[in-house]
Amino acid sequence: MSLVFACAVSHTPGIRAWPDAPGAKIKNNFYTEFENLYKKMMAAHPEVLVIISSEHFTNFFLDCMPAFTIGMADQYFGPIEQWINVEQGNISGDPNLAKYLLHSSYSAGIELAYAHEMKLDHGIMIPLSFLNPKRKLPIVPLIINAMTYPMPSQKRCYELGGVLSKALEKENKRVAVIAAGGLSHAPGEPTHGIIDEKFDRDFLHQLTTNDSSTFTSYTDQQLETSGLGTHEIRTWVTVAGIAKKLKAKILFYEPISAWATGCGILYYE
């Protein structure tokens, strides 16, 4: 069994770009819990991080939009956005683990797309600025289309998580998995900054009670009533599939209008 840690976190750019906007109390609580998450993860001695984030038209656009893409590169550059206050630079990949997960997924009936070049945006680099601050751990990025129709269903994301979970059971390296995205948000919409706290709390409750039949049943239309960015809960649902035998615990939740997102930090123990 090589899954040594799993967690899910928000990745909104404001976390680093305008950290003080929500006020000192909320910011300090959020940063403290992110640091606690880092300590918990490092206590599990991971050797590599699989980070599951969502597409933001960084690597793929309307001309070619895969549902799921795994990164096979030796090295990645990020973040592409200078303005998010995360230092730009390279980070090592783990092409062997990526290849293993790719082939395992094909064998289990999910044909992931794969990319030998991939850029990293805020969706990956905001979480890694807390969880891999010195960039010592190599990564395997997995990008989900939560951006444009058609998108993989929540059920398919959960199924992918199950497939990855089975593959990781036979992997010797100690792997930590990070979901990055969500929760409810409406970037660029007239409702930008309005957060559906009820949706977020219901969803988090479903994760902590492992109510997979409910959290895999959301339709795209239901999610969009909480903002288009809410599609990104697919990353959380995928990790729920990877960690389905473990119990989810919430470290932090706050609807943070100043960061335009319901911000959550959750881990599995």
List interacting residues with Fe ion (CB under 5 A).
Answer: 123
Check if the beta carbon of residue 92 is closer than 8 Å to that of residue 138.
yes
Using the minimum distance from each CB to Fe ion, give the nearer residue, 46 or 182.
182
Using the minimum distance from each CB to Fe ion, give the nearer residue, 93 or 181.
181
Using the minimum distance from each CB to Fe ion, give the nearer residue, 33 or 81.
81
Using the minimum distance from each CB to Fe ion, give the nearer residue, 171 or 200.
200
State in angstroms the smallest separation of the CB of 261 from Fe ion.
Answer: 8
Pair type for strands 3-9 and 175-180? parallel
**In sequence order, what E strands does the chain have?**
3-9, 48-54, 68-71, 75-78, 89-92, 113-115, 139-144, 175-180, 248-256, 261-268
Closest-by-Cβ residue to Fe ion is 123
State in angstroms the smallest separation of the CB of 218 from Fe ion.
Answer: 17
State in angstroms the smallest separation of the CB of 82 from Fe ion.
Answer: 18
Using the minimum distance from each CB to Fe ion, give the nearer residue, 46 or 71.
71
Give 82's DSSP letter.
G
- Reported as half-sphere exposure (CB side, CA atoms, 13 A), residue 113 has a value of 14
Tokens of 2: 């090589």
Using the minimum distance from each CB to Fe ion, give the nearer residue, 37 or 146.
146
**CA distances (Å), 128 to each of 10, 49, 113, 138, 257, in order?**
11, 10, 23, 11, 22
What residue type is 169 in one-letter code? Answer: E
Phi, psi of 89 (to 5 degrees): 170, -175
State in angstroms the smallest separation of the CB of 8 from Fe ion.
Answer: 13
State in angstroms the smallest separation of the CB of 234 from Fe ion.
Answer: 11
State in angstroms the smallest separation of the CB of 108 from Fe ion.
Answer: 27
> What's the per-residue H, E or C state across 222-248?
HHHCCCHHHHHHHHHHHHHHHCCCCCE
Using the minimum distance from each CB to Fe ion, give the nearer residue, 123 or 161.
123
State in angstroms the smallest separation of the CB of 123 from Fe ion.
Answer: 5
> What count of residues does the chain have?
269
